Amino acid sequence: MLLSKEIAVYLNLAGCKLKQYTASMLRQGNIQLTPEQFLLIDLLWNQGAMSQQQLADILHKDKNSVTKLVDALERKELVSRERSTSDRRSNIITLTEKAEQLKEKAKEQGISALDKMLDGISEEELRQFLNTLNKMSKNMENANKSQE
């Protein structure tokens, strides 16, 4: 198999396994969030309230996908929508008290899961891997831009 094809296969496989692994770790911690919901709420824990468009941009998801995530988190009473005072067409997503109470437990579970996933991999290997992923990401962005 060509090296480039093999890399693509393993990247896809790793992405799928990461999602499954994260879902399993959240369930083990009795945290009723999907991996995508966890990413969104973690972003709000770290950066504070923001618009749905900002969330979509940071998470690299379309606005409809983010709307579905926010809807689900709203049903779980973890976030609320507030109309932006500067742009009435925009919603600001804020965390609820229930979400703040979940924060420590969820972050501990997330850190534990990452530690297990990265066990036996040196910091140097991780930095090189991250550097390679960043280069691949930039190459794909540039290729997309050149096709537009």
124 and 92 in a common domain: no
What confidence tens digit (pLDDT) does each residue in 28-87 have? 989 999 999 999 999 999 999 999 999 999 998 998 999 999 999 999 999 999 887 777
Q: What is the CATH number of the domain that holds 97?
A: 1.10.10.10
Picking from 26, 9, 10, the residue whose alpha carbon sits closest to that of residue 114 is: 26
pLDDT band at residue 144 under the 50/70/90 scheme: confident
Closest to 73 (Cα-Cα) out of 107, 47, 48, 42: 42
Residues 123 and 102 in one domain: no
Same domain for 66 and 128: no
Q: What pTM did the predictor assign?
A: 0.82
How many CB atoms sit inside 10 A of residue 113's CB?
18
89 and 128 belong to one structural domain? no
Provide the pLDDT for residue 87.
73
Q: Both tokens of residue 49?
A: 């309230």
> Are both 67 and 7 inside the same structural domain?
yes
Tell me: do 70 and 127 sit in the same domain: no
Residue type, 59: L
pLDDT at 139: 92
Residues 110 and 123 in one domain: no
Q: What is the pLDDT of residues 79-128, one digit of tens each?
A: 999 887 777 778 899 999 999 999 999 988 888 888 999 999 999 999 99
Structural domain count of the chain: 2
Coil/strand/helix, residue 62:
coil
> What is the spatial distance between Cα 70 and Cα 40, in angstroms, rounded to a whole number?
8
Residues 73 and 137 in one domain: no
Query: The domain containing residue 146 runs over which residues?
Result: 118-148
Report the pLDDT value the prediction gives residue 16, as an integer from 0 to 100. Answer: 94
Report angle CA 20, 23, 27 to the nearest 5 degrees.
140
Same domain, 12 and 59: yes
Q: Is the pLDDT of residue 1 over 70?
A: no
Alpha-helical regions (H) of the chain: 3-28, 35-47, 52-59, 63-75, 97-117, 123-147
111/93 Cα distance (integer angstroms): 24
